[in-house]
Structure 1
Amino acid sequence: MKEEIAQEEEYHISSDAVNSDEVNMVLNYSNTFAVFDRSGNIHPHGKMVQGIYHQGTRFINTLILHVNGEKPLLLSGSIKEGNAIYSADLTNPILKKCNIPENSVHIERHQFVREGAFYEEIKVLQYEPKSCSFDLSLDFDGDFRDIFEIRGMKRKVETNNVYPVYHHEYFETTYLGLDGVERSFEVYFQSDVEYTLERNQAVFFINLTPKKVITIQYCIHFLTGKEKKETISYAEASELNKFELNQSKTLFADIKTSNAQFNHWLYRSEKDFISLLSQTDHGKYPYAGVPWYNTPFGRDGIIAAMETLWINPEITKGVLLFLAANQANDLIPEKDAEPGKILHEARNGEMANTGEIPFKQYYGTIDATPLFIMLAGMYYDRTADLNLIKQIWLNIIAAIDWIDNYGDIDGDGFVEYIHKSKNGLTNQGWKDSFDSIMHENNQLAEPPIALCEVQSYVYGAKKHAAKLALELGEQHLSSKLFNEAAVLKKNFNAHFWDEELSTFVLALDGQKRPCRVKSSNAGHCLFTGIADKDKAIILADTLLHSDMFSGWGVRTLSSLAGRYNPMSYHNGSIWPHDNALIAYGLSKYGLQKHVLRIMESIFDASLFIELQRVPELYCGFDKRQGIGPTAYPVACSPQAWAVGAVFMLLQSCLRIDINAINKTITFDRIILPDYLNEIYLTDLKLGNQKCTLIINRSKYGNVGFNILHKPDDWEIVIN
């Protein structure tokens, strides 16, 4: 066990992976992202997170702008609303040679990333009424470190050196990885002024006359193997970004409300979600999050798709097709792979390629497989796209077979996990820290472990698969799956419910002993309907009790538990996606007052968070008057299922159900928070058509509808 814990701690993200007293800015585009300070610089502070990354590798670890060798003064910096460009306004220190005082020269930096490239434009303008000369320099360097090194993992092998390659007109730096892959970056410049290139430093000779703008532009290409990229200008790349941003506006239904702050949360979340979408051979897939998880994750992609399904079903289609194409076919213990199992994550950095970490194509997740089946069923309800279901039906059958033949290790009807990969994850639910599954005496649970929420997902999977089987004319299979779901529900409520704790226990361990701790996992037993209604009502109050609910959301673990730590990753922190799934489940049982408390807590938290970009998680401390939630230092931001939470929270308040099979949109006993008097829902996709409506609340609290447009063959049902 000690060896396993030591291995798990290697995958733990070290708290010194970031400088927690600095504000890092983030730009991301598919496989490429940048993390830099507010001035637009990247500093080579050891393994700190700042840098420009591509395909799991930090290519650039130094990018620093100087004026006459000195640091310019920061005026302000911000990510533009479209989430594509970072803009920093700087000014000069005292320029002694010209006798120019500080705050006389305005230096604008505009930066963005595209797939495999980074672009910057620098504009320099002087306001003093006399001429001035100075040197503006840019320092570049790269270390080609794997993202897992930046996270804090120590490598046990000697890596190769990084080599600069000198050219007259551009910079090149290259690295040959231990995986045999050559990685390099090239820097190309366009400038209004003369410049020199030497040892990865570009020096521009600035001669300023008053009110005349000087412009410097450059791009950095990140290359893998024998890859070459066509050099395009900053302006061309910027136009491509604008075009794509305009196109992305059609991905989501447009939601606006009477509350400007809530609108900004929606807008920021949508733009962040879009920035995490990567185009695969099978459609768009939401990468999990920047910086640590900027790659496909099965569980994360599925839950992010669930959160946005009602307003954007196209993403779900891409997720289903990608995961079906990457479903395991063989029994490969070192990958925790078994036939029919759905992917946990895929990586393509040096350490994954060499096998130093097992995550090149890794299947160590217990829940992605039933969630995949659930998502397929939810997608069919939302779209009536039977062609897609037929396309992935064999994958769904294989996933069901995995549940029965590999998931249920001991044949007791519950799905358990025990890792087989020597250096894989010990815990394989969504709380996959080594210490996240425990007994009330703080002892860690021994595998195989049956998590409460996983049984809920399996129940949902079998119910959805049964309905799909019926649509495809497989009545016998449908009946079998419905019966199995009914038996599972009965056994689950009998074995997992704890009357004294008023909740479902966290898990059953390898000896079938219950892990008698209160956790947020139990809340995931609501949205599939596996919980008996009387237990669901009791559980709702348990989740909103002060030991579980901090005021900023439901904690992952009760503050009364022995392993509770509000600053831990999984044992007392607050995760927005976790809260969204709980709220969604509460809405299924009509527990709308509980839904509102969760919605309001996450919204309130967003108001204290920069850009209203709700992060992967934050600490679980009690809410204090006038003080925002406490940040978790190495949380991903943006992260797909965190920024997707607002859409599922709103869906839970509206209790909206879009059923394309029956062609109905049902609103069932809507309840709106006090700060939302109107909601404008525009261009909600219904097949090839769209619907637009306004939901408003009168001063007496009654909810009314104004249907501006809907397809003639669709019905809107209001209860």
Structure 2
Amino acid sequence: MTQLDERKLDPAVALASLDDTAPREPHRLYALKHGDCFAVADAYGDIRGTGDGFFRDDTRVLSEFRLTVGGRSTSLLGASLSQDNVLFTANLTNLPINDADGRQIPQGALHIERVRLLWQERLYERLTLSNYSQEHSTVLISLRFAADFRDMFEVRGSTRSKRGVVGAAEVGEDSIALRYEGLDKIVRTSVISFSQTPDRLEPDRADFLIVLSKRSRQTLYIEVGGQVADTPDRERFRASAARARFNMRAKRRHGATLHSSGRVFNDWVARARADVALLTTELPTGPYPYAGIPWFSTAFGRDGVISALQMLWLNPGLARGVLSFLALHQATETSPFSDSQPGKIMHETRKGEMTALSELPFGRYYGGVDTTPLYIHLACGYADRTGDMGFIDSLWPSLCAAAEWIEEASRSTGFVTYQRAADSGLANQGWKDSFDSVFHADGRIPKGPIALVEVQGYVFAAFQGLAQLAERRGETDRAQAWQQRAEAIRQRVESDFWLEDLNYYALALDGDGQPCKVRTSNAGHLLFVGLPTPERAGMVADQLLSASFHTGWGLRTLADDAVFFNPMSYHNGSTWPHDTALCAQGLARYGNRDSVVRLMSGTFESAVHFNMRLPELFCGFTRAPGEAPIAYPVACLPQAWSAGSAFMLMQACLGLRIDGWNGEIHVTRPRLPIGIDNLTIRHLAVADNAVDLTFQRVGDRVGAFLADRHEGLVPLIVRS
């Protein structure tokens, strides 16, 4: 069995294994996704075989895919994704080359366009060459390819003592099949097909001599899939593109939409919405937002729940899909290897060879201490948003089982703690799961079991919400018990985690009950659930908004005076948009809405520098005039909870809450983002109605009103 080093789960570790030609800037890479397939390539459309590739079910089925023209690489003109994330386009031109007859072709005489999409486990590519010279030419076009069939965890840095067998390439007339039989006895295949017969086809290369008369154009179609299909051609490409675009359009129509007076702001919102749609996979249980590309393109419990919370006010159907999936995969037995206990909610699921062979525990892994209370919190939030008690009744046995797990997990200390059950699991099991993300002020790594501060906040919210649902179900005794449990957790957090000398909450308590006296953004999540007293919430808010945390682009995960602070680290000083958004929602909950506007502005400006797409994280350097935020080298892009941050920040600015029980919209002290004078939310579902709600800046105030045709349908309650 392969021994897991938890450091290899940190994508930063993968950086050390990349060669000098590796694509290291995630915002310069381009991702496509459909279902359980995704592709990542550079701006040229090339796959180089490092962290990029074409992946199917957590296996890299195309590890190299490079284009040369006339025996040379191309020159990049530009690259882009369509607004709906369906089509990737690279515009290229030739370097000085010779044609097949030895005549020189000057640089810029040829235009090469690569258009790519994914649909139903196949990669489709259209390669178009246009000759803008005055000469007839026969141009050598070469595609170099390979499929290493490496498991995603191998790509991320895990090593294996033994692998399966790579079969000999099967070279056909106009296609080639690459095969690998894994140790799990599954044969994985990658078939590369061409619309015209190559002039030379070898196990790792296809050469085409393309005849171009002056001012002419020629097109080559390529497909990569798991099996032989019909010959690629224009009709197949167009039909697949049309189906993919229709599918994406349907996903983007779910829920309400936003439109503001700011054109660039609208571009960001549209891209964020498209990214959520791209990462959302239709499962038998409903829609589920996969965490991020490339490292986490699968169902994660924590990420799915938080993404659904971010989108809940706009699209509660996403929350329903997440809850249904997690309830179906709730643990029913105890397993140290998978870190499961009855009632616990799944952390991660994988489909690759290494998990199938139990070399790693992540086939279905439960080593997340926060996912179970967050699951309950989402269910309670969904109920408040929709009033859908029928669905909650169907979930009730699962919610009760989750509550029982929380009770059992906190029996010995009064807090929900974690300590990995097997060495193959994660050492740290909160959202900051790097091996060094939990520590004492002097740098000592605490011994377990560990109680994280934000997890206790999630537990407080879970029991508080369950108490309200139990009351609606007529289970008065259970409601009172859960409400008492919530209040007991609140009091214990206030007494055991509060640090008088720092006027802040400790990051965690170690196995001896000693606090980790480190200031982190985790404390901001207590504001998100409303646990602290207003006085203490104000002290936390002041520090989160100080220069120790607030970079000008967002909030750092760790104060800049901590012993392990490093703005280039994965969890110890970087900026995560979803973390900033959760803290911002907490600030808004305690009435600090003007500061939320500042955070929204910094996050939006960060997105502008990242081509309208927020990465998983970026470096936590302080903002300086004229400088852009610094990218983290191997961050996921897109990332669901980063895209969803735009919408949680917007809700926090607007002070908007929907009461699904009474069919009402509540707006409290609304603010608009800087530079935005009006914003309209269209087709906002409230009970059985869909309404348009507009926010308008009037002097130094912001008003809210429903469209005339909706007057009287839904009560709008505005508090200034």
Alignment TM class, shorter chain as reference: over 0.9
Alignment counterpart, residue 318 of structure 2, candidates 315, 319, 322: 315
Q: Which amino acid aligns with 1:378?
A: G
Please name the residue that 1:549 is paired with.
550
Structure 1 residue 188, shift from structure 2 partner: 2.1
Please name the residue that 1:91 is paired with.
93
Say yes or no: does 1:326 pair with 2:305: no
Structure 1 residue 323, shift from structure 2 partner: 0.2
Please name the residue that 1:683 is paired with.
683
Say yes or no: does 1:185 pair with 2:187: no
Please name the residue that 1:207 is paired with.
211
Q: 1:83 touches 1:275 (CA, 8 Å); kept in 2?
A: yes
Q: 1:58 touches 1:145 (CA, 8 Å); kept in 2?
A: yes
Please name the residue that 1:144 is paired with.
149
Distance in 2, matches of 1:106 and 1:660, equals: 55
Say yes or no: does 1:375 pair with 2:360: no
Structure 1 residue 185, shift from structure 2 partner: 0.7
Please name the residue that 2:269 is paired with.
266
Please name the residue that 2:57 is paired with.
55
Distance in 2, matches of 1:190 and 1:708, equals: 56
Distance in 1, matches of 2:273 and 2:700, equals: 32
Distance in 1, matches of 2:198 and 2:61, equals: 27
Say yes or no: does 1:104 pair with 2:106: no
Please name the residue that 1:241 is paired with.
244
Say yes or no: does 1:299 pair with 2:288: no
Please name the residue that 1:661 is paired with.
661
Please name the residue that 2:465 is paired with.
464
SS of equivalent to 1:597: helix
Q: Which amino acid aligns with 2:189?
A: S
Q: 1:336 touches 1:424 (CA, 8 Å); kept in 2?
A: yes
Q: 1:172 touches 1:187 (CA, 8 Å); kept in 2?
A: yes
- Equivalent runs, 1:148-159 vs 2, <5 Å: 148-159=153-164
- Further displaced range: 101-110 or 320-329: 101-110
Structure 1 residue 31, shift from structure 2 partner: 1.4
Q: 1:63 touches 1:138 (CA, 8 Å); kept in 2?
A: yes
Aligned CA distance change for structure 1 residues 174 and 69 (closer, same or farther; 3 Å): same
SS of equivalent to 2:77: strand
SS of equivalent to 2:169: strand
Say yes or no: does 1:73 pair with 2:71: no
Q: 2:440 touches 2:516 (CA, 8 Å); kept in 1?
A: yes
Distance in 2, matches of 1:179 and 1:194, equals: 34
Please name the residue that 2:40 is paired with.
35
Aligned CA distance change for structure 1 residues 203 and 6 (closer, same or farther; 3 Å): closer
Which digits, 9 at most, give the CA deviation of each residue in 1:643-675, with x for residues without a partner?
Answer: 110100000001100111111001011122331
Distance in 1, matches of 2:53 and 2:653, equals: 40
Q: 1:409 touches 1:417 (CA, 8 Å); kept in 2?
A: no
Which digits, 9 at most, give the CA deviation of each residue in 1:361-404, with x for residues without a partner?
Answer: 00001100000001001001111111211111100000000000
Q: 1:369 touches 1:399 (CA, 8 Å); kept in 2?
A: yes
Say yes or no: does 1:494 pair with 2:495: yes
Q: 2:52 touches 2:294 (CA, 8 Å); kept in 1?
A: no
Q: Which amino acid aligns with 1:36?
A: A
Structure 1 residue 56, shift from structure 2 partner: 0.8
Aligned CA distance change for structure 1 residues 230 and 329 (closer, same or farther; 3 Å): farther
Distance in 2, matches of 1:323 and 1:704, equals: 37
Please name the residue that 2:594 is paired with.
593
- Further displaced range: 679-688 or 657-666: 679-688
Which digits, 9 at most, give the CA deviation of each residue in 1:238-263, with x for residues without a partner?
Answer: 11112112212311311011122221
Say yes or no: does 1:426 pair with 2:424: no
Q: State the percentage of identical aligned residues.
A: 36
Distance in 2, matches of 1:505 and 1:24, equals: 38
Runs of 5+ consecutive residues of structure 2 not aligned to the other structure: none
- Further displaced range: 116-125 or 487-496: 487-496
Runs of 5+ consecutive residues of structure 1 not aligned to the other structure: none
Distance in 2, matches of 1:21 and 1:360, equals: 28
Q: 1:98 touches 1:133 (CA, 8 Å); kept in 2?
A: no
Structure 1 residue 161, shift from structure 2 partner: 2.6
Q: Which amino acid aligns with 1:665?
A: I
Say how many residue pairs are matched.
705
Say yes or no: does 1:117 pair with 2:122: yes
Q: Which amino acid aligns with 2:397?
A: L
Distance in 1, matches of 2:604 and 2:500, equals: 32
Q: 2:684 touches 2:691 (CA, 8 Å); kept in 1?
A: yes
Which digits, 9 at most, give the CA deviation of each residue in 1:334-377, with x for residues without a partner?
Answer: 11000000000001111111112110100001100000001001
Which digits, 9 at most, give the CA deviation of each residue in 1:45-71, with x for residues without a partner?
Answer: xxx112111111111111111222222
Structure 1 residue 595, shift from structure 2 partner: 1.5
Q: Which amino acid aligns with 1:85?
A: L
Structure 1 residue 713, shift from structure 2 partner: 4.2
Please name the residue that 1:364 is paired with.
367
SS of equivalent to 1:333: coil
Distance in 2, matches of 1:159 and 1:437, equals: 38
Please name the residue that 1:256 is paired with.
259
Distance in 2, matches of 1:498 and 1:594, equals: 24
Q: Which amino acid aligns with 1:130?
A: E
Alignment counterpart, residue 9 of structure 2, candidates 11, 14, 29: 11
Please name the residue that 1:622 is paired with.
622
Distance in 1, matches of 2:487 and 2:425, equals: 34
Q: Which amino acid aligns with 1:208?
A: L
Aligned CA distance change for structure 1 residues 163 and 475 (closer, same or farther; 3 Å): farther
Q: Which amino acid aligns with 2:239?
A: E
Q: 2:53 touches 2:61 (CA, 8 Å); kept in 1?
A: yes
Distance in 1, matches of 2:528 and 2:198, equals: 63
Please name the residue that 1:217 is paired with.
221
Which digits, 9 at most, give the CA deviation of each residue in 1:586-643, with x for residues without a partner?
Answer: 111111122222212212212211x221111111111111111111111111011111
Please name the residue that 1:513 is paired with.
514
Which digits, 9 at most, give the CA deviation of each residue in 1:113-166, with x for residues without a partner?
Answer: 224110100112212233221222222211011111111122222442343122
- Further displaced range: 530-539 or 208-217: 208-217
Distance in 1, matches of 2:229 and 2:652, equals: 46
Distance in 2, matches of 1:117 and 1:418, equals: 41
Q: 2:704 touches 2:718 (CA, 8 Å); kept in 1?
A: no
Q: 1:17 touches 1:151 (CA, 8 Å); kept in 2?
A: no
Distance in 2, matches of 1:424 and 1:509, equals: 19
Q: 2:198 touches 2:206 (CA, 8 Å); kept in 1?
A: no
For the aligned residues, what is the CA RMSD?
Answer: 1.9
Distance in 2, matches of 1:206 and 1:98, equals: 15
Distance in 1, matches of 2:163 and 2:257, equals: 52
Q: 2:194 touches 2:231 (CA, 8 Å); kept in 1?
A: no
Q: 2:621 touches 2:629 (CA, 8 Å); kept in 1?
A: yes
Q: 1:218 touches 1:234 (CA, 8 Å); kept in 2?
A: no
Q: 2:64 touches 2:146 (CA, 8 Å); kept in 1?
A: yes
- Further displaced range: 288-297 or 114-123: 114-123
Q: Which amino acid aligns with 2:71?
A: G
Structure 1 residue 34, shift from structure 2 partner: 1.3
Please name the residue that 1:537 is paired with.
538
Structure 1 residue 279, shift from structure 2 partner: 1.3
SS of equivalent to 1:612: coil
Distance in 1, matches of 2:326 and 2:516, equals: 32
SS of equivalent to 1:255: strand
Q: 1:298 touches 1:345 (CA, 8 Å); kept in 2?
A: yes
SS of equivalent to 1:237: helix
Q: Which amino acid aligns with 1:324?
A: A
Q: TM-score, normalised by structure 1?
A: 0.95
Please name the residue that 2:640 is paired with.
640
Q: Which amino acid aligns with 2:73?
A: K
Say yes or no: does 1:392 pair with 2:390: no
Structure 1 residue 94, shift from structure 2 partner: 3.2
